[in-house]
A and B are shown apart, each in its own frame.
Chain A
Amino acid sequence: MSGFFWSALPYIAFATLIVGTSYRYWTGERGWSTKSSEFLAKKSLKVPIWLFHLGLLMAFGGHVIGILVPKSLTDGVGISEHLYHIIALSGGIPAGILFFGGFFLLMQRRFGNPRMKVNTSTMDGVIYAVLFVTIITGFGGTILNAVGLLGDEFNYRECISPWFRSVLAMNPDASLMSETPIIFKCHVFMAMVTMILFPFTRLVHCLSLPFEMFLRSPIIYRRK
């Protein structure tokens, strides 16, 4: 079973993410939108949307560093395990607070305001639930780990990170995940679920960075 979760599912997730997103772009471009709800409830969006996206970017950056930079590299340049953890937590805790705080406020807004119903599809409900579990397991696991409740021997840089790199290297080593606490297993699993759902949700808007705006002329003329 662990072979499926940690050897096959990651590839299913990546494949769905890439194929699904391209499929949606080519077939249903007209539905490709942020589905902005500022029009329906403006005031309650102002602060939470910034908290959420800022926290998201910080958390994403933290994941990239924590997973892709091998422990041997930081050890090599003389950063002790203790120092690394202080640095990671000093970035991770504020990111988690912003990310989860923003998410909580946005969730309150989405499911508390009757107007927002018209902007909330079933898929939105599903992705909110998935993201909620993903964030809570990630943030919760980090805090439990920081206060030492997950045991001294657990270090995600010695199990999750090398496992993820082994997946990226197309040579998955599921045994690396065997000693990982359940809360982090759950977190990784939910992250893969998010990737699988991504193409079919509003999350696709993050791929639409409007950089062409910087290159084009202000007024566009187009033939019929």
Chain B
Amino acid sequence: MRIKAQVCMVMNLDKCIGCHTCSITCKNVWTNRQGAEYMYFNNVETKPGIGYPKNWEDQEHWKGGWKVDGGDLVLRTGSKLGRILKLFYHPEQPELDDYYEPWTYDYETLITSPRRKHQPVARPRSLISQQRMEIKWGPNWNDDLAGGDDARQDVNLKKIGEEIALEFNDIFMKYLPRNCNHCLNPACVAACPSGAIYKREEDGVVLVSQDICRGWRHCIPACPYKKVYYNWKTNKAEKCTFCFPRLENGLPTVCTDTCVGRIRYMGILLYDMNGVLDAAKSPDPKMIYAQMLGLIKDPNDPEVIEAARKEGISEAVLNAAKISPVYQLIKGWNLALPLHPEFRTLPMVWYIPPLSPIAKKAEDKVYLPQSEAMRIPVAYLAELFTAGNTNIILQVLQRLLDMRKVMRCKEVGETPPQNLEFDVYEYEKMYKLLAIAKYSERIKLPAGLQGKTHEQLRELQGSAGYVCPGGFC
């Protein structure tokens, strides 16, 4: 057993209202500069939908993530020799139009236009070529199922062989906020020819060294979640940093901090590093979720604590791990699931699948439907979170439904149902964490990972970033 600490995030999709606040606050902090204006380290997608960049989930096309080949775990993008040949032209690298062409508007015409018969119009102008452009696609073009044909192209729908019905009575959708998953087995790290991307030992955050990056661009197609981006100005790779300067001071990421629906939970997980490879190459992709649970160790087990201390994990981190809300959600109640575990990168941002609107069953005169009769097809959720294993989704949804039943009974003074999995007290705890938990209960991060004082950090303000000194860019 070789214990490592990982900063981890859980998102409760039941509460996501798709407001994009996380994307905007993240953008204001990290990517509101030239070369990065098309990037969203965090974005919110409507599912079903093709997402950002277009069809990122289709690994037949992008060749992202890992695959098992003759018992070995190999990058889907190819062998080392084959990858060297892709240094010149990478056939699977997404281009600008796969994301969208960023634009602004000619606002000046609104005030400089002479008197005319018609109102002056601020027309769109490309932020890349500075020429007038026609807007054909944007970062959230199919938000709320806008453009039904795009939603039909969702690869998960194709996999479950379900033709999406766009009649109002059957329609379903949900939101999926996405940032870098800071995977335990990151494909971007493995694909980097220069060794510029690394996983931090202290907290598991995956970062790109801007000094070592040579702009070979292999990380971008290799990441199956398309969460590494190419800065066209500095010609280097950039990605979500998990707001590490905040983490080091015991603060959560900006997206977590500003989440309006309070859907995000952050905390420490302790995992066994020695088991990562075996978990990533389990023969049956449906078993990867179970294998991931096996990697995560009980932070209260004395043996685990002993092993963690041997690895030099600080007491502050160990204490945070013991009260970690994400451990409770992932391993305590098995509510949170990894996004697309079949990519085999072992992502560390987990999702609690949403209960659907129950309008479909309103005529049944039941308070809550059965978990298999929800509006969002269980098979669809299974494609997203369990590599197609519907049993796990049904179990999670049933637990969430049971929690609601228990709380309803408590509220109206009825006796709770008899055939419950957990005792009532456990459901109350679940309710507290999922529904009404305060900031300090949702986020348990240790302070003091950084070696600098606040004064020293303040001196750094404005001097750190992704600029390109030397003038050779």
Contact = CB atoms under 8 A, between A and B. Distances in A.
Contacts, number: 138
A105 B449 CA distance: 52
Contact of B468 (A27, A30, A37): A30
Contacts of B89: 38, 45-46, 49-50
A222 B204 CA distance: 10
Nearest to A214: B80
A116 B230 CA distance: 15
A115 B468 contact: no
A33 B213 CA distance: 7
B221 to A, nearest CB: 11
B129 interface: yes
Q: Tell me if B's interface is mostly helix, strand, loop or mixed.
A: loop
Interface stretch (A90-98, A137-145, A205-213): A205-213
A35 B213 CA distance: 11
Contacts of B80: 213-214
B98 to A, nearest CB: 9
B217 interface: yes
A160 B212 CA distance: 40
B469 A36 contact: no
B189 A205 contact: no
A219 interface: yes
Given A30-B211, A31-B471, A223-B201, A38 B129 contact: no
B436 to A, nearest CB: 35
B314 interface: no
A216 interface: yes
Nearest to A210: B193
Given A32-B472, A35-B215, A210-B194, A221 B201 contact: yes
Contacts of A157: none
A31 B210 CA distance: 9
Nearest to B99: A39
Interface string B118-152: 00000000001111000000000000000000000
Size bin of chain B's contact surface: 35 or more
Contacts of B83: 213
A102 to B, nearest CB: 11
A200 B472 contact: yes
A30 B128 contact: no
Which of B83, B212, B235, B449 lies at the interface centre, i.e. has the most chain A CB atoms within 10 A of its CB? B235
A212 B129 contact: no
B410 interface: no
A28 interface: yes
A212 B84 CA distance: 12
Nearest to B128: A115
10 A-B pairs with least C-beta separation: A28-B470, A210-B193, A31-B472, A218-B190, A33-B215, A114-B129, A222-B198, A42-B95, A220-B198, A33-B235
8 contacts: A24-B472, A31-B471, A36-B235, A114-B129, A118-B129, A121-B473, A213-B192, A221-B201
Given A118-B129, A224-B200, 9 more contacts: A30-B468, A34-B214, A36-B230, A36-B235, A115-B128, A208-B194, A213-B83, A221-B200, A222-B199
Interface of A: 24, 27-42, 45-46, 49-50, 53, 114-115, 117-119, 121, 123, 200, 205, 208, 210, 212-214, 216, 218-224
Interface of B: 80, 83-84, 87-91, 93-96, 128-131, 185-186, 189-190, 192-195, 197-202, 210-217, 230, 232-236, 276, 449, 451, 468-473
